[in-house]
Structure 1
Amino acid sequence: MRRRMLPFYAATLFAVTLAGLMLIFPSEALRASLKGVSIWWDVLFPALFPFFVISEMMLGVGIVHFFGTLLDPLMRPLFRVPGIGGFVMAMGFASGYPIGARLTAQLWEQRLVNREEGERLVAFTTSSDPIFLIGAVAVGFFHDAALAGVLAAAHYGSAVLIGLLMRFHGKPGAGNNAQPVPAGSSGPISGRGLWQRAFDAMHEARMKDGRPLGVMLQKALGSGLQLMFVVGGLVVFFSVVMEVMSSAHIMNLLYAGAESILRLFALPAPLAEAVVGGFFEVTIGSKAAGGAAGIPEIYKAAIAAWVLSWGGLSVHAQIVSLLHQTDLRYAPFAAARLLHGVLAALLVLLLWEPLSPALSVWSVLPEPEVTRPVSTLLRHTLPAAGSLFAAMLGVLLLLSFLLSFGKRGMNPRSR
């Protein structure tokens, strides 16, 4: 009984300590709050809110189900998730965290994925958006456009590796609450049959939803706004936590622990500030890594890749808030984030020499500042994210068609 109460006691102690620190350092707490609100309004709101609304509309009209059917021949054997996970993957990579978790939670509510499938999906579709990775980190913090290619290859490449590793998570059929696959839908099928199934799935989903488009849009706007306020509150909260802990010199103890870990892996100890900052919040850790002086660029980039892939406790809290109404567990997600960070850092070290010269073409990039005007962010973020989403979806569809036709060619009954 006492062991079960330990998390409660720990949370209570943390809350009391934080309240005391805010009373001791009120001006620092206020400054951090204003900074968090600025990041939320200038960066997160215009970048995430349109995708929250669009994704819910796509679910309502059945477009997600349409692409899910087309991608099923690829996603099931490769990642052990339904084809609809391919849409979540493309959307998550294009728009960044926490879009992947948001879509996965909606799929679980519609009984389109079970618990193990949802946990696999959230584990590898939670990633940084390309505009932040390229414009803010590579150009804004590191002042090196060529670094964007290495970071992108390491970050998104390791995310795909996490997806392949997570296919071994869970037992086949365990915790199954997903809708059964329609009879006769398994096995290789013709291209015409695949398209017909996709349109049937879209029509069935639209009929099952049944809401007029006006009502659907109203609900999407309401739920999107509600989620954005949750995201904003978490950003402000962690900004205050970091600031008051720094003012109380508590962070120095964490820096010392991080230095010990870095020395264990033969990494420069001065990067401890970036590691600790990134453990709490992505922007703080990435900026600290880029601003570290007197350290080889390769190690700074590796730590930045770890920060981007781990996501920070701020992002973790956002994911937990999205999944709390489902039965998806946090532990597999946390383990996948930690492994994603380690793999991304290792990929930077491995790809540094071969990719750095070849990917110096990343020169035409968005505005490098993290807190830039809303109009500038919208002008760069939405077209770039849309292009990446379309490109990823196109590649996944092509691979799915090739795999489907390949199986059909090997099946004598299909000839």
Structure 2
Amino acid sequence: MYKSKLKTLALSISVTIFAASLILMPGESLEASIRGLDMWWEIVFPSLLPFFIVSEMLIGFGVVKFIGVMLEPLMRPLFRVPGVGGFVWAMGMASGFPAGAKLTARLRQEEQITKVEAERLVSFTNSSNPLFIFGAVSVGFFQNATLGIVLAAAHYIGNVCVGIIMRFYGGSDRNDVRKETSNKKGFIVKEAFSALHKTRLEDKRPIGKLLGDAVTSSIQTLLMIGGFIILFSVINKMLYHLHITTFLAEGLSTLFLLFRLPEQLSIPLISGMFEITLGSKLTSGVTEATLLHQAIITSFILGFSGFSVQAQVASILAETDIRFKPFFYARFVHGLAASVTTILIWKPIYERFSNEQLSNAIPVFARHNDAFWTDMLYWFKSAGPIITILSLVVYMILYAQKRSV
């Protein structure tokens, strides 16, 4: 009882301080809100919407079930999750946060995976997409496309490490017993097609209804994601102006000196633990640090994902019985694994393919890569808002039709 009251008091005080900060610093809060909104409607919404809609369609048509049967011999021994986890893993890497959580929750709601399997799966299927790592971080912040190879490799290798570690999670849980209904002696392709056909017949929705539900569900999720992005953008800004970020960073100074990292990187790390975009941008601006040091901190920020992304995942998982704690602990593991991997692959990858020697110069041969990712970001910034607005109009029409029926 005492612990519950203390938690209530802490939450009440925190929200009150946040509300007072918004009143006392309206200009700063508005600036942060606009920054979060720009990121959402220019990049996040148009980049995630197609993946979400296609994923819903693939699940409805039974294609995911087909993939699950085909990948069962790989995913089960390696990560102790069903074969459908391979689909979630691939879509999570391609589309980015929080696609892995959404697809895992959907599979759990359809009882294609157990609770423990879902908690394992969601822990390593949420990652940054290549556009964010190469376009926004490497080219946008560091002006260095070669660095993106190191960050992406470390990030996705870290994902694999988390998946392998999480395979030992819930080993003694009796609920982690899944009866395989398929006949392993049969031809696997035939078995997979039978599962696809059976799933399609069980979903009696016509194609038009299935598509409409996919669009509605996807946009609802993206609206929720947009709210979290804007909220945590403001929270991060308020923490900085209230000097809370600086206070927390001072506590990390000793730890940074122990690992021979510049203490100037502590503030970007704290900011990145709340919101990865701002943390990565601040890290790129620390001139006292070498590029290797910046890459180590950026890898941790990308792996940890930030409380903003974690809040999005928590909101999605709240609709199921999947516990959030395993995902939260896995983020620390991912951040540490990505940072260590960055150190290990720095010489064989970055120093080998770059003319730099721990400096911030741009290699000549990488300029065409810079142009590619810059063009990609420019396209999203130009067409993204139009796609977002048109999609919201379609959503309102579908929602109105659904309400009138």
TM-score range, shorter chain: 0.7 to 0.9
Matched, 1:296 2:296: no
Question: Which residue is equivalent to 1:374?
Answer: 380
Contact 1:150 1:359 in 2 (8 A): no
Distance in 2 between residues matched to 1:359 and 1:7, nearest whole Å: 51
Displacement of 1:258 in angstroms is 2.6
Secondary structure of 1:170's match? coil
Question: Which residue is equivalent to 2:362?
Answer: none
Displacement of 1:350 in angstroms is 1.1
Question: Which residue is equivalent to 1:16?
Answer: 16
User: In structure 1, which of residues 312, 321, 327 is the aligned counterpart of residue 315 of structure 2?
Assistant: 321
Displacement of 1:325 in angstroms is 1.2
Cα distance, 1:195–1:237 mapped onto 2, change above 3 Å: same
Question: Which residue is equivalent to 1:184?
Answer: 183
Contact 2:264 2:288 in 1 (8 A): no
State which drifts further: 254-263 or 159-168.
254-263
Matched, 1:364 2:369: yes
Displacement of 1:330 in angstroms is 1.2
Distance in 2 between residues matched to 1:120 and 1:326, nearest whole Å: 14
1:326-352 Cα shifts (integer Å, max 9, x gaps): 111111111110011011001111111
User: In structure 1, which of residues 253, 258, 275 is the aligned counterpart of residue 269 of structure 2?
Assistant: 275
Contact 1:39 1:371 in 2 (8 A): no
Distance in 2 between residues matched to 1:279 and 1:29, nearest whole Å: 19
Matched, 1:219 2:213: yes
Secondary structure of 1:146's match? helix
Question: Which residue is equivalent to 1:157?
Answer: 157
Question: Which residue is equivalent to 1:390?
Answer: none
Matched, 1:139 2:135: no
Amino acid at match of 2:234: V
Question: Which residue is equivalent to 2:69?
Answer: 69
Distance in 1 between residues matched to 2:265 and 2:275, nearest whole Å: 15
Question: Which residue is equivalent to 1:175?
Answer: 175
Question: Which residue is equivalent to 1:395?
Answer: none
Distance in 1 between residues matched to 2:283 and 2:31, nearest whole Å: 23
Gaps of 5+ in 2: 355-364, 385-405
Displacement of 1:289 in angstroms is 1.2
Question: Which residue is equivalent to 1:239?
Answer: 233
Distance in 2 between residues matched to 1:237 and 1:126, nearest whole Å: 21
Displacement of 1:170 in angstroms is 0.2
Question: Which residue is equivalent to 2:34?
Answer: 34
Matched, 1:342 2:341: no
Contact 1:320 1:330 in 2 (8 A): yes
Distance in 1 between residues matched to 2:182 and 2:96, nearest whole Å: 36
Q: CA RMSD in A?
A: 1.9
State which drifts further: 101-110 or 256-265.
256-265
Gaps of 5+ in 1: 379-415
- How does 1:72-83 map onto structure 2 within 5 Å? 72-83=72-83
Displacement of 1:177 in angstroms is 8.4
- How does 1:254-265 map onto structure 2 within 5 Å? 254-265=248-259
Distance in 2 between residues matched to 1:198 and 1:269, nearest whole Å: 54
Amino acid at match of 1:374: F
Question: Which residue is equivalent to 2:399?
Answer: none
Question: Which residue is equivalent to 2:194?
Answer: 200
Displacement of 1:266 in angstroms is 2.3
